[in-house]
Structure 1
Amino acid sequence: MPAPDLVTDELTLTGRITTASNATFLGSIGDAAVVYKPIKGEKPLWDFPDGYLAHREVAAYLVSEVLGWNIVPRTWLRDGPFGEGMVQLWQETDPDQDAVDLVAADDVPESGWKQVLEGQDEKGRIVALVHEDTAALRRMAVFDVVVNNADRKGDHILAMGDGHRYGVDHGLTFHSDHKLRTVLWGWVGDALTAEELEGIDRVRSGLGGELGQSLADLLTAQEIASLAARCTALRATGRFPAPRGEMPAVPWPLF
């Protein structure tokens, strides 16, 4: 049986994710399971007034591809039952793995994990937000800085059985103002690796060519200029940045 044409073959809806802030559907294109977010189902956001969430999701995928780290599952624009929207290949996660977790403050693992913050849960217990200390998650943290991700929740990180980590839900990205909100703050001040720096260089270089041309259909000129400036600044410091500004450094809820 030939592989489905993901752009032109019929998109059939199979369910709806009712916990999502905007209209989000599960569907299939042939034997490929997908997520479909129609532009008509997007709610206006006062702090992201320009463009569409769907366009930013596709832009995030394009940047991920140029970075070369396979962070964002394949994502594209196409027509669907409720009009044009973002479509993304569905990923089956490993239910026994968690890349980000809340644990008792006195039970933080001694190695292999980074602690981000402490706080109280709904029962008044002191808990710690932790995440894996892995190359895959470091690369995602770099990606989030580059795209200025304002909503990296714990559940937006998909833990795959083979150890790979995908990032999803990138509608709140690429703002020209600093908006970075993430649960991945465990490497603040650490030097970037040669691999991470090379990925940033590929994005910065790509903005002058094919990547920049593709993003021009999805983002404003100011957003693209700010993307280039973030790459330049991150490359110059060579280190993971610290939270700054008056806005919260982590999204809410955390998951």
Structure 2
Amino acid sequence: MPNTAFITGATSGFGLACARRFAREGWNLVLTGRREERLESIKQELQERCEVLALTLDVRDTASVQSAVAALKTPFDRVQLLINNAGLALGTEPAQACDLEKWHRMIDTNVKGLTTVTHALLPRMVEEGAGTSIINIGSVAGHWPYPGGNVYCATKAFVEQFSLALRADLQGTGVRVTNLAPGLSESEFTLVRTDGNQVAHDALYAGAHPIQPEDIAETCWWLASMPAHLNVNLLELMPVRQSFSPLSIYRD
């Protein structure tokens, strides 16, 4: 029986690219997202290659997540891979000028949503054992703070520590956990962050040759298909044109 991948935030960006990549390998797919029409379109695209279950789901809704996971039936009930991709950044203002609701939405999605989905699926994955993988999509923002990053950076730092703590708790189960932390990546991310500002999106990526969703999908495939006795704890990726800058100094 083919393996099953459970991918959150599958309607665009990394999630959609991962769905297409694993469909090429014949994996069964459980795809979640908030946009029902887009999910259905993706299901129609991919179901010629594999079995696809599309779940219109907001990871912030704990009861809906728990119900959806509890209702999984053959061939989707044996989950060998969880890609916790659903997440977002909102706003670029300094902390003192931020909208508190946006902070709470990032925490609810990037932290609470990720942990809710993981908690719901863990018993099934532990039962599957060796070779099963959890890939949490973190960010270099969890390692390197920047102006305007505030709560987004904090949520991605949580993803790293949660991933490491999961590894400690899952010792002996065979379940692998990776924090995959991309740098500058081109997707809908900046459009969401800036309330649809196409000019800001284009300016950020112009001439930078950023990471593409397909790059992340290929990386997730590599992680999931590694020999079962190997675990990549943390994988940080940047485009070649992104690197590091000196520490900032404020002067009178």
Q: Would you call these one fold, judging by a TM-score over 0.5?
A: no
Answer 1 or 2: which has greater helix percent: 2
